[in-house]
Amino acid sequence: MSWIGEMLRAGIITDGINLRINGNLVATGGVSGPIGAGNVYYLDPVDGLDTYSGQTPGTAKKTLAAAYALLTANQNDVLYYLGNTSSLTLTANFEWAKDYTHFIGVCPPTAIAARARIMGSDTAGTLTKLWLLSGDNCIFSNLYWFQGGTHASDIGCFEMTGTRNYLWRCHLAGMGHATPAAQTTAYSLRLNGAAECLFEECTIGLDTITRGAANAEIQIAGDAKRIKFDRCLIESQSDTAGHVAINIAAGGLDRWLWLNNTLVYNFSVNHATTLTCAITDAQTATHDILLTGNTGLKGYGYWAGAGVPIYTNIAAPNNAGGEMIATATS
């Protein structure tokens, strides 16, 4: 299927009335749509103007702040970001706090470095996290966040505290400069109180900036529960043995974390360094880490250290049925 066909299938190209994700209608109505339907607005950092209405592609807003101000919480308003040769550039933290509002990029759905870009630029330490998603029940699709701040305080790319959010073919790339990449607290994605969230065909991390400390692409920081990564890529470039793909803090995870058909990958020059393990876990309360489908590991010695509650559906010799089996390493 062509990328145009793929975008049509997923609703990334719109007629201004309907929004479909994976063939499912999730929002309908234009700015003159039926009562109770969400409104549709447009953002174009190249050809837009903030004096425009934002109601059509030709009258798109230019800045994220102006476009976001048009959205009304709890009515499924949709903001379409028209990808182009230039990106949105943020120099301070941005919070998406409106429940039931959706943000969709219009460009080829590559899942890696898509051209609907939100870039961070900072030298003063004002961009501690590029993006905070505190809203609930939001859909983000076909977007690329790149934390390019060069200050040691620019440690975060994307933090989620909201619940029941859905990201499809998004790229969350933290530590885009060597200085923040050398901080132990740096991350690409941080889950803090998020629950029942789904990441589908997303990329988390990047493999162009060397991680110079024992940091993590994904931090699970506080009471996250029932989080699923489906057909995702968690990637990094590191020669620091303690760098991990996922770090779970004490009190960080409730119930389960599920990786399905997901590749966890670290690149090192000449493949000279194999990192110790992909997951570190300090949570002591009962919880599970589920690895299913073709979930795989490259560039790490083990999934996790002894005692971490990892479950995989890879059949052991005494487990011909292939049901879930406990394993400390695999």
pLDDT, tens digit, 9 for 90 and up, residues 113-169? 999 999 999 999 999 999 999 999 999 999 999 999 999 999 999 999 999 999 999
User: Whole-model pTM?
Assistant: 0.87
Distance CA 129, CA 145 (A): 11
Across the range 247-255, mean pLDDT stands at 94
Q: What is the pLDDT of residue 270?
A: 83
User: What range does the domain containing 134 cover?
Assistant: 3-327
The answer to whether 300 and 327 have CB atoms below 8 angstroms apart is no
Reply yes or no on whether the pLDDT at 49 is more than 90: yes
Residue 19 has pLDDT above 60, yes or no: no
SS3 306: coil
Q: What is the pLDDT of residues 71-81, one digit of tens each?
A: 999 999 999 99
Percent of the chain with pLDDT over 70: 83
Q: For 79-97, give one letter per residue: b (16+ CB within 10 A) or e.
A: bbbbbbeebbbbeebbebb
Q: What is the number of structural domains in the chain?
A: 1
Q: pLDDT tens-digit profile of 191-222?
A: 999 999 999 999 999 999 999 999 999 999 99
* Burial (0-12, 13-18, 19+ Cβ within 10 Å), 67: buried
User: Residue 229's domain is classified under what CATH number?
Assistant: 2.160.20.10
**pLDDT over 90 percentage in the chain:** 76
What does 95-149 look like in DSSP terms, one character per residue? EE--TTEEEEEES---SSS-SSEEEE--SSS--SEEEEE--SS-EEES-EEEE--
Computed over every residue of the chain, the mean pLDDT equals 86
CB 201 within 8 A of CB 229: no
Residue 13 has pLDDT above 70, yes or no: no
Q: Residue 273 is encoded by which pair of tokens?
A: 């360094």
